[in-house]
Amino acid sequence: FSSRELTAHYLQRIEKADTKLNSFISVTAEQALQQAEIADNARANGTAGTLAGIPLALKDIFCTRDVKTSCGSKMLDNFIAPYDATVVEKLSAAGTISLGKTNMDEFAMGSSNENSYYGPVKNPWDLTAVPGGSSGGSAAAVAAGLVPAAMGTDTGGSIRQPAAFCGITGLKPTYGRVSRFGIIAYASSLDQAGPMARSAEDCAHLLGVIAGHDGRDSTSVARGVPDYVESLDAPLSGLKIGLPKEYFGDGLAPEVEKAVRDAVKVYESLGATVRDVSLPHTHYAIPAYYVIAPAEASSNLSRYDGVRFGHRCDNPSDLIDLYTRSRAEGFGEEVKRRILIGTHTLSEGFFDAYYTKAQQVRRLIRQDFLDAFEDVDVLMGPASPTPAFDLGAKKDPVSMYLQDIYTIAVNLAGIPGISVPAGFVGNRPVGLQILGTHFAEAQLLNVAHQFQ
């Protein structure tokens, strides 16, 4: 069948099912069908790449020329970027077709997708459950078969946790593996884009397209991009798996623990050996992250001043009124909370006590992982302490932050991680998280693929 037929099929699925899920903020049907025709012609001429004609969706944090990029916020409800993000450019150059922009927590702050200006996304497995966040729209859309794959970003778990909650595969690459150019900044030293799809194989194809150095992002790393697909079938005999004891402690739902331990047994049957390891500074990860991420966010979000772009209040009486009212009206509650925290921790007199201390802790957390990878090849554990929780269940922010216990240290350390489906608790999926050392994406995809 043609790409046009494929694209039309998914557009119909979106039209039918997304009224229930709310996973898309913008659907770009017309552009998609046009691109599909171009891909079909390229196929007919024999000039098409492997992914030509494959429909995708983009989290609404990736800047797209001609299509609104809201970042889940009222602040950017009227924003159309004048350029494409590098990830978007690379995906179009590979011939993939964007069906639209997916829902997300406002400015990627959240773990349930309930912080979106466009309303919460529902989990397709159970409409009373959250899809996870902040890339909840991408995860739900893939899980519901509205699109074969989607792009997400992960600053503190936002690819892996929603992938786990929705029963799909999601990969956060090493910091620097994928260009951040044109991705709306949340916490610049943590943000990283990655693929969310039905399988590790699909993620491998997509990572191969989006990875690589970009002169427009000085933190992207000049290092060759391996063929992630070629190594998917490498045998796992002799693979050394570490189970961090801190990832199996208090707060972990027993059914989630069982699903993860069952998955580890599958790896043993494939020839892997398993041992317990320790990441002793794990319990500092949430406090360190919730100092560093809001600090960087408060700085990044200072550009939304009602002057250059984004929401502007009506009839400002003077410049200060313009700033304060535009920001008060444009930002939601959680974003304001983060800006307040970040501004406080960066202020004179508090900087050393909070920000400098958190950076020191970050170093220790990174060292924990490097020490562990001296002894083992990969680490395995749960992606989240529980399966998807009910919509509205976590009202106080700290209980929401505690959700991120198994995902956030990975961003602080800059290492890659993948979440793969590992069964269900009732009707809600469980994710197995696999972690590797810096630039070990090929190995993570190989290990994930062997389980699927």
Catalytic positions are 59, 134, 158
Longest dimension (CA), the chain: 71
Is the CB of 109 or the CB of 144 nearer to ligand GLN?
Answer: 109
Q: How far is the CB of 200 from ligand GLN (least distance, A)?
A: 20
Q: Cα 229 to the chain's mean position, in Å?
A: 21
Find the Cα–Cα–Cα–Cα dihedral 15, 18, 20, 24, rounded to 10°: -140
Which residue number has the CB closest to ligand GLN? 158
Looking at beta carbons only, is 326 or 433 nearer to ligand GLN? Answer: 433
φ and ψ at 66, to 5 degrees?
75, -10
Nearer to ligand GLN, 35 or 158 (CB): 158
Q: How far is the CB of 22 from ligand GLN (least distance, A)?
A: 19
Cα dist. 246→250, 266, 385 in Å?
A: 9, 22, 12
| Half-sphere exposure for 390 (CA within 13 Å, toward CB) | 4
Residue located via tokens 């990627």: 108
Binding site for ligand GLN (CB under 6 A): 108-111, 134, 154-158, 186, 293, 404
Looking at beta carbons only, is 186 or 354 nearer to ligand GLN?
Answer: 186
Q: Please report the sign of the dihedral spanned by the C-alpha atoms of residue 368, residue 211, residue 195, residue 334.
A: positive
Q: How far is the CB of 133 from ligand GLN (least distance, A)?
A: 6
Name the minimum Å distance from CB 316 to ligand GLN: 31
The amino acid present at 398, given as its one-letter code, is V
Q: Which is nearer to ligand GLN, 98 or 411 (CB)?
A: 411
- DSSP states of 142-161: HHTTSSSEEEEE-SSSTTHH
**Smallest gap from residue 233 Cβ to ligand GLN (A):** 31
SS (H, E, C) 168-206: CEEEECCCCCECCCCECCCCCCCCCEEEEECCHHHHHHH
With CA atoms as reference, report the closest residue to 23 among 162, 157, 199, 161: 162
Three-state DSSP class for 358?
helix
Backbone φ and ψ for 136, nearest 5 degrees, come out as -70, -35
Q: How far is the CB of 61 from ligand GLN (least distance, A)?
A: 9
